[in-house]
Amino acid sequence: MTYPVHHEEPVINSTPRKIKKEADIEIYVDIEGTLIDDLFNANFLNHNCDNIKEYIHKHDGHHYKVHIYTWGWVHRSEIELGLVDNLYKRLDVDKEHRGTIYVKEDAVDGLLANCSDFAFDRDTLLRPGGFGTYGLSKPTVWKWYVDDTNKFNVLIDDTVEHEIDLDRIKFINPARMKVIVRNDLDKPATLYNPDGCKVGEIKNDTAFEDVRRQIGLQRLSGYYIMFYGQRINIDRYGNFEDYPEGFFDTIISAAGDLLSNDHEAQTIFNEKLADLYPQPINPEVTDDEDDA
């Protein structure tokens, strides 16, 4: 496979030139949803940035390069070098460790060059959601694009659903890189009695479940909760007729995630290779051809 040439500084549309010593560790960092909210507003996601910065500088003393790998810019002509410089500065990456800027066009061309057996359409791939047409995810495309058995390649991207750590390939979601204490997960709501008088604020899951318990044990009717302008009635058993997203569901969501993770832990060894390297969908293969 032919690999993109790395540069002393981020450059675009220039004649490739190899640096004297190639990096042993290649770190590819997404932009939108990973470092900033979006390309228009360009507000730093500080929690992610701090996690990524800490991860990068664990490699100080080794020869590494930090690349920008984004599909937010489709063509190289769209690259904003000023923004790229600010991103590198936020991560405290000096010029020696700055790599290449990869845009969606690069990913498309790399895929076409290395998967010639499949009938991919370049224009389709360049469109929003184009890779999904062929059943391809961003991590999968990246894996094919940068695969090099002589280097350790890392993708840091908010689209990573399952963090994978293989021999020389690592996928990281920046929001899950370390444990933090979050006391602001539950959104407050207000409890009212049958007369419409405010009883009090409910600020967390514990208080919420206690209110339900009291109403259910006393078989009280007519109580309701106002949650972001929505009235949620509570029946005499402490149950609700509606349960909108974000309505004191932290414990339930956490339990669901843990159960899902437990199942995944039992099957990930056998399935992760298939998840990482799924066969792309060849639109020119018909059901008739499959039957044949």
State how far the Cα of 102 lies from the Cα of 109, in Å rounded to an integer.
Answer: 11
Least confident of 76-80, 105-109, 168-172, 195-199: 168-172
State how far the Cα of 73 lies from the Cα of 80, in Å rounded to an integer.
Answer: 9
pLDDT tens across 75-127, in order? 999 999 999 999 999 999 999 999 999 999 999 998 888 777 788 899 999 99
pLDDT tens across 201-247, in order? 998 888 888 999 999 999 999 999 998 888 999 999 999 878 787 78
Instruction: Look at the block and give the residue holding tokens 């507000």.
Output: 43
pLDDT exceeds cutoff 50 at 14: no
Average pLDDT over residues 145-164: 76
Q: Please state at what angle helix 138-146 crosses helix 250-276, rounded to 10 degrees.
A: 40
pLDDT at 91: 96
The mean pLDDT value of the chain amounts to: 78
Which alpha helices (H) appear in 118-228, and where do they start and end? 122-126, 130-133, 138-146, 205-218
Q: What phi and psi, each to the nearest 5 degrees, are found at residue 274?
A: -65, -35
State how far the Cα of 141 lies from the Cα of 171, in Å rounded to an integer.
Answer: 12
Average pLDDT over residues 131-136: 85
Q: Which domains does the chain have, with CATH numbers?
A: 25-176 (3.40.50), 189-233 (no CATH)
pLDDT at 20: 34
Given pLDDT bands bounded at 50, 70 and 90, which one contains residue 146?
Answer: confident
Give yes or no for a contact between 227 and 189, defined as CB atoms under 8 angstroms apart.
yes
Give CA separation, 191 vs 145, 150, 202, 206, 207, in Å. 54, 61, 7, 14, 11
Q: Which of 121-128's residues contact partners 24+ apart within 8 Å by CB, and which partners?
A: 126/74
Other residues' Cβ atoms within 10 Å of the Cβ of residue 141: 21
Average pLDDT over residues 161-180: 68
pLDDT at 235: 93
**Residue 60: strand, helix, or coil:** strand
Q: What's the chain's Rg over C-alpha atoms? A: 25
Which alpha helices (H) appear in 71-229, and where do they start and end? 81-90, 104-114, 122-126, 130-133, 138-146, 205-218
The single-letter DSSP state of residue 290 is H
Average pLDDT over residues 60-76: 91
Q: Say which residue, 268 or 162, is predicted with more confidence.
A: 162
Give the global pTM. 0.56
pLDDT exceeds cutoff 50 at 276: no
pLDDT exceeds cutoff 50 at 7: no
Give yes or no for a contact between 109 and 68, defined as CB atoms under 8 angstroms apart.
no
Other residues' Cβ atoms within 10 Å of the Cβ of residue 243: 12
pLDDT exceeds cutoff 90 at 175: no
Give yes or no for a contact between 244 and 231, defined as CB atoms under 8 angstroms apart.
no
